[in-house]
Amino acid sequence: MALKQTIRLQKFLADCGVASRRKAEELIAAGKISVDGMIITEMGAKIDPESQVIRYNDTLVTRQHKHIYILLNKPRGYVTTLSDPQGRPIVTSLLKNVTARVFPVGRLDIDTEGALILTNDGNLSQEILHPSFETTKTYEVLVRGIVTESSFTVLERGIELEGRKTWPARISKRDKKRNSSSFIITIHEGRKRQIRKMCQAVGHPVITLKRIAYGQLRLGSLKSGSYRMLKQKELKKIFL
């Protein structure tokens, strides 16, 4: 008799394009996933996809055999969640001709614009988001005030945020105007509102923030609110 092939529930949800593995764990903890009619909240629970019925909010979850990858230029005013109780516009509403269920890889806060990858490939999402891969993200930043060289050095070396120091950052293309400063910053962490908090910590609140690249995958001339499908060879640029 053949042994059943079991898989961790959060990995199955990610493989099916429900959410990234990290987000899938949140869905499980919130009691939104059932297996054979029973709500599962235990982390690490294993299931047999061939013989068990898995549902997310009462919707049947099945594997999607074709992975798709989208690069979106997220406008300000959109949230990077699949639903919003406050009724704010969500990024997936911008995907007019995409029938597959995709989710954002990571997040950009509502006031931040720029490059956002959406996919139904949970494994790729895990690789981009997991700290061990040290995937870089690059941003254009405009802040209030004139940033001094010493403040740039502090940003580059790392800042204590909420009891933990940020990893070193790379800063380039510095430009100072009358009442503001702009620069390009590259980090490989993904803490919530990290760059805004870093700039606030050195006394320069962010005016505008735009992500322009994941690794060497650049936003380029893609217009705000527009998106394009990514080819397999382009995905390698994410990790360069």
SS3 93: helix
- Strands 33-35 and 38-39, sheet pairing: antiparallel
E-strand spans in 33-163?
33-35, 38-39, 46-47, 54-56, 59-60, 69-74, 103-104, 113-119, 137-144, 160-161
Has 109 been annotated as catalytic?
A: yes
SS3 140: strand
Report the C-alpha gap between 159 and 165 in whole angstroms: 5
| Active-site residue identified among 109, 111, 121, 175 | 109
Of 238, 14, 11, 17, nearest to 128 by C-alpha is 238
DSSP state of 166: P
Beta-ladder partners of 237 = none
- Strands 206-214 and 113-119, sheet pairing: parallel
Report the C-alpha gap between 96 and 227 in whole angstroms: 10
Of 155, 205, 198, nearest to 179 by C-alpha is 205
Look at the alpha carbons of 50, 129, 237, 224 in this order and tell me if their dihedral is positive or negative: positive
User: Mind telling me the catalytic residues?
Assistant: 109
